[in-house]
Amino acid sequence: MTPPRTPSWKLPAALAAALCAGAVLGWLAGGRVAAGVALVAVAEVVLLLTRIRHQARAMMTASTAVSPLQHDRFMTRSRRIASSLRDLRNAASQLPDAVVLLDRQQQIRWFNHAAENLLGLRRPDDRGASLQQRLAGSELATWLRDGAREPLADAAAPGRADSQLNVSLLPFGDQEQLLLAHDISHLNRLEQVRRDFVANVSHELRTPLTVIHGYLELLDPEDVPELAAVLGEMRTQSKRMGQIVEDLLTLSRLETQHEVIDERVPMAALLATVRKEAEALSQGRHRIVLESTAEADLLGSPKDLHSALSNLASNAVRYTPAGGSITIRWQREPEGAVYSVSDTGFGIPASHLARLTERFYRVSSSRSRDSGGTGLGLSIVKHVLNLHRAQLRIESAPGVGSTFSCHFGAARLLTPGSSDES
């Protein structure tokens, strides 16, 4: 009988698979690739240690046909690999992210120390227990029972009442699963501090800016012709700063708002208003067309929807050269209705599309300043649509133009002249 041998390729291949899976897990955890790699490698370590243990047992019970030299070589190699893998596992046990290795029935096979703190798991009692039953009554248990198809964001930590988690569940090995939980409580606290700071500063800036703008309006450029250009620029910039403050206050309110008070929003009147505002901003430099065929009103916040839809139209005016055309559409689609604004403007490279809704993100800083934009319009649009359970989609090609579309579900649609949902 020859001793069981681990093929030379098996360990590197297993570790390579762990690295690939770790990269995916790191992406799901918000770009924490290094942590994801380490945690998945830990799970692979557990499996490899188990295999080595079984091989060692088989060798210990093997017949006398195995030569002492073969036996010693195998045992030396197994001890060396097992020692290295134990070191990796022990190091990973100290990671701040919780990792739990589950079998195909979602029973707990292994977990690190962070899982004890964040998920409330205990050794050795919880090894072999059902994770759903162990977390019964928590948001995580409901998520697991429903299939855990998508990562769970901002969930309450079962082991810590004051902590919030981002949780992911990935397929692993032979019908096994790997659960990763990252504590985001500190990030949430920092985000709240940022929101409070922005809101407070914006409120404090509003009054002095109003005073400054008022005094500038009292100054007649004809009285001081040598300062006419300066006064004009000061008025423009004070007005722009005032708009930035107002947008910051709006954004701060939307970020802390979780639902809207639903009212009927007559779309015919709103679309007409949006068109008039776009024409006033354009001052005849563009051809602006309105196409409304949906014959449906919206259910939501009139003020917020006006802000979002008007922002998209004004952006199209600002970033479309003179002589271009802008088309505002309100149309039905199978899942509901879509409001869209298409232009023949500069267009946006594909590399920028994913970041357009970030605060103050600009494709071209100089062009944005010249257009008078605040850099907050699309952030406001995104938050308004989120509150209305709608989606923003962007299509653009440099030198061709862009289309920004807001997709509303059927639950948000009302038939004009009726209070019943369409």
Tell me, what DSSP letter sits at residue 2? P
Output the CATH code of domain 10-181: 3.30.450.20
Q: How confident is the prediction along the chain (422 residues), in pLDDT tens digits per residue? A: 444 444 433 444 444 344 444 444 443 444 444 445 445 555 555 555 556 556 656 655 655 556 777 767 777 777 776 666 666 666 666 677 888 888 888 899 888 888 888 888 988 888 889 998 888 888 888 898 888 888 888 888 887 778 889 898 888 767 788 888 888 888 878 877 877 887 788 788 888 888 888 888 888 888 888 888 888 888 888 888 888 888 888 888 888 888 888 999 999 999 999 999 999 999 999 999 999 998 899 999 999 999 999 999 999 998 899 999 999 999 999 999 999 999 998 888 888 888 888 887 777 655 555 555 667 889 999 999 999 999 999 999 998 999 999 999 999 999 886 655 44
Count of helix runs (H) and strand runs (E) in the chain = 13, 13
Q: Selecting from 3.20.20.120, 3.30.565.10, 3.40.640.10, 3.40.190.10, what CATH number does the domain 263-414 have?
A: 3.30.565.10
Q: Is 36 strand, coil or helix? A: helix
Task: Please give the angle made by the CA atoms of 185, 192 and 241, to the nearest 5 degrees.
Answer: 150
pLDDT number for residue 66: 62
pLDDT number for residue 361: 78
pLDDT number for residue 415: 85
pLDDT number for residue 9: 37
Structural domain spans, the chain: 10-181, 187-256, 263-414
pLDDT number for residue 368: 53
Structure tokens at 320: 């479309």
CA–CA distance, 244 with 374 (Å, rounded to integer):
6
pLDDT number for residue 59: 56
Structure tokens at 115: 């899982």
Give me the helices (H) in 219-296, please: 228-256, 267-282
> Which pTM does this prediction carry?
0.59
Backbone angles phi, psi at 335, to 5 degrees: -90, -5
Output the CATH code of domain 187-256: 1.10.287.130
Sign of CA pseudo-dihedral 407, 410, 412, 418: positive
Structure tokens at 297: 């009103």
